[in-house]
Amino acid sequence: MSHLTRRRMLLGFGAMAGAGVLAACAAATPAPAAGGAEEEAPAPAATEVPEIVGRPAPAGVAKTIKLSVWGDITDMQIYSGIADDFHKEQDEIGVELEQWIGSYYEKMQTQIAGGVEPDLIYVQGWRWQPFAERNVIRSFNEFIDADLPDYMTDVWSDAARPQTDMDGKTYMAVSDGGAMVMVCAREPFERAGLDFPPDPNWTIEEFTETVQALTGTFDGVEQWGFQAQGGYERLAPFIRLNGALEWDQIVNPRKANFDDPAVTKEIQLWVGDFVNEYKASPTPAMMQGGANTIQTGNVAIIYEGPWFLARMWGPSAAREGGTPFEVAPVPRGSAGSICNGFRHGHAMSARTPEPAACWELLKFIGSDVGQRHVSLGGRQPNSGRRIEEMWGPIVEESYNFTTSSAFASGWDTGTVHVISGAELQMNNEAIGPALDSVINGRRTAEEAFAEANLDIQAMLDDYWSELEG
């Protein structure tokens, strides 16, 4: 296996001011999903060109700011509403929207290479760092120091900083995100005679007992307590619940610790044992074709984010009539309750001729008016306070549940899997295949990662060697 192919590709585009870095980002990634969309808008076939949908700025404005929009229909609705209200508030700055449908990062690469990227670029909190390394984007520090509104002071929380800052500078303004929770279906709990919703302060041990008690045949229905998933991005918080850490540090790690017994113990539980030892989760084969999932009513619990709610209830529900549910925090370990807390937002092009106007637009996006558009569009707003006060009432009414506060608490304690220029290669070539072998019962976590950690470390070493020359 070659560990250098991807990195050499990136560095080979150095003369294009980081365009090659974006090629790394063009690979499939979890989208900053909204409404019922869980993943990134489908990538086009290799022969297709990503579709661009534009919305021009009003005529007669003194300055125009171009802003990129993620490729989901909900996102265009959100930012069209924000732009309309921004134009009502002032008439000097116009907003031009450009939505890239299909391979979002591929289009970004093309625009940066051509020197025509938007002034404000929508990015994911674990994907912008290579752009900053090559001065494709600029920091917001001068604006934050001089003109930070009170309503944005909680946007850059301690939990957000790993996804917004690098080397003491802030490069991403958070506009939305997704904290993840345990989604719990009512019917399996009632069939098994268990209290519903579960105790929000449950521990890992109590969770394990609960999912085992939920598993079996009740009232003639075969059901499972937990819908286990093997992807690393979602697994990372569970690895860390009892204090283990699979890297020396989450941001720009230099050492992989996936073979640490404390790490493999957690991987074995969450990826392997619930499926193969306790039989408390359907296997991947059992779920093929959409069978035996929480949406079909015979799985009790799944770890999911706000984008999943529309699959449970409402006109887009996977099951006719919907599946009644509540949500609960991730169970507590010795390190507390930890979940994924993905942040998404905007980076400013280093080449924009109007940085001050960009900041005015970012302040408006971060205001209550802007964040209400975000909330009405189904995305979570940019702070735990707004999730609880603004977004919670909207989604509780739309999706018929009462426990949205779990999302707010998750936002404040949320983490990200890893931030590294080698992340995609490590995940695709080593971490992912090892996890697949564990969830399918072919190997234990200890066996799988004794081998995989060597590959992960080699990729990290090659990344740093080539980056530092």
pLDDT value, residue 23:
33
Band of pLDDT at residue 271, cut at 50, 70 and 90: very high
The strand pair at 93-101 and 120-124 is best described as unpaired
Band of pLDDT at residue 38, cut at 50, 70 and 90: very low
pLDDT value, residue 8:
37
Band of pLDDT at residue 52, cut at 50, 70 and 90: confident
The strand pair at 51-55 and 93-101 is best described as antiparallel
Band of pLDDT at residue 448, cut at 50, 70 and 90: very high
Mean pLDDT over all residues of the chain?
Answer: 88
- Find, among 155, 185, 160, 175, the residue nearest to 328 by Cα: 185
pLDDT value, residue 364:
98
HEC readout, 268-280: HHHHHHHHHCCCC
Is the CB of residue 96 less than 8 Å from the CB of residue 42?
A: no
pLDDT at 33 over 90: no
pLDDT at 386 over 90: yes
Is the CB of residue 55 less than 8 Å from the CB of residue 108?
A: no
The strand pair at 93-101 and 63-69 is best described as parallel
Mean pLDDT of 47-61: 78
Q: Which two tokens stand for residue 161?
A: 């900083």
pLDDT value, residue 313:
93
The pLDDT tens digits for 317-375 are: 989 999 999 999 999 999 999 999 999 999 999 999 999 999 999 999 999 999 999 99
**Three-class SS of residue 369?**
helix
pLDDT value, residue 275:
96
pLDDT at 116 over 70: yes
- Spatial distance between the Cα atoms of 377 and 356, rounded to a whole number of angstroms: 27
- Find, among 337, 344, 279, the residue nearest to 306 by Cα: 344
Omega before 433 cis (within 30°)? no
Q: How far is CA 18 from CA 125, 134, 171, 234, 390, in A?
A: 17, 6, 16, 29, 38
Band of pLDDT at residue 3, cut at 50, 70 and 90: very low
pLDDT at 308 over 70: yes
- Spatial distance between the Cα atoms of 77 and 110, rounded to a whole number of angstroms: 25
Q: Which residue has the higher pLDDT, 134 or 447?
A: 447
HEC readout, 372-411: HHHHHCCCECCCHHHHHHHHHHHHHHHHCCCCCHHHHHHH
3-state SS of the chain: helix, strand, coil percent to 5? 45, 20, 40
For tokens 């392997």, the residue is 272
- Spatial distance between the Cα atoms of 386 and 364, rounded to a whole number of angstroms: 15
pLDDT at 422 over 80: yes
pLDDT value, residue 342:
93
Is the CB of residue 245 less than 8 Å from the CB of residue 299?
A: no
The least confident of 39-43, 51-55, 398-402 is: 39-43
Mean pLDDT of 37-49: 38
**Three-class SS of residue 245?**
coil
Mean pLDDT of 310-314: 91
**Three-class SS of residue 359?**
helix
pLDDT at 13 over 70: no
Q: Which residue has the higher pLDDT, 72 or 187?
A: 187
* Backbone φ/ψ region at 167: left (φ over 0), alpha (ψ -120 to 50), beta: left
Q: What percentage of the chain carries pLDDT values higher than 90?
A: 75
- Spatial distance between the Cα atoms of 189 and 197, rounded to a whole number of angstroms: 8
Task: Parse the chain into domains and list their residue ranges.
Answer: 13-178+342-397
The least confident of 16-25, 310-319, 423-432 is: 16-25
pTM for this model (two decimals): 0.84
Mean pLDDT of 282-289: 92
**Close Cβ partners of 435 (under 8 Å, ≥ 6 residues apart):** 230, 231, 232, 235, 267, 271, 448
pLDDT value, residue 102:
84
Is the CB of residue 417 less than 8 Å from the CB of residue 258?
A: no
Q: What is the separation of C-alpha 427 from the centre of its chain, rounded to a whole number of angstroms?
A: 15
The pLDDT tens digits for 173-225 are: 999 999 999 999 999 999 999 999 999 999 999 999 999 999 999 999 999 99
For tokens 């980056």, the residue is 467
The pLDDT tens digits for 210-269 are: 999 999 999 999 999 999 988 999 999 999 999 999 999 999 999 999 999 999 999 999
Band of pLDDT at residue 50, cut at 50, 70 and 90: low
pLDDT at 1 over 70: no
Q: What percentage of the chain carries pLDDT values higher than 70?
A: 89
Q: Which two tokens stand for residue 391?
A: 């977004």
The pLDDT tens digits for 346-357 are: 999 999 999 999
**Ranked by mean pLDDT, which of 10-24, 40-54, 99-113 comes out on top?**
99-113
Is the CB of residue 52 less than 8 Å from the CB of residue 71?
A: no
Superfamily designation of domain 13-178+342-397: Periplasmic binding protein-like II (3.40.190.10)
Alpha carbons within 13 angstroms on the beta-carbon side of residue 415 total: 22
pLDDT value, residue 105:
87
Band of pLDDT at residue 22, cut at 50, 70 and 90: very low
Strands, E, within 83-128: which ranges? Answer: 93-101, 120-124
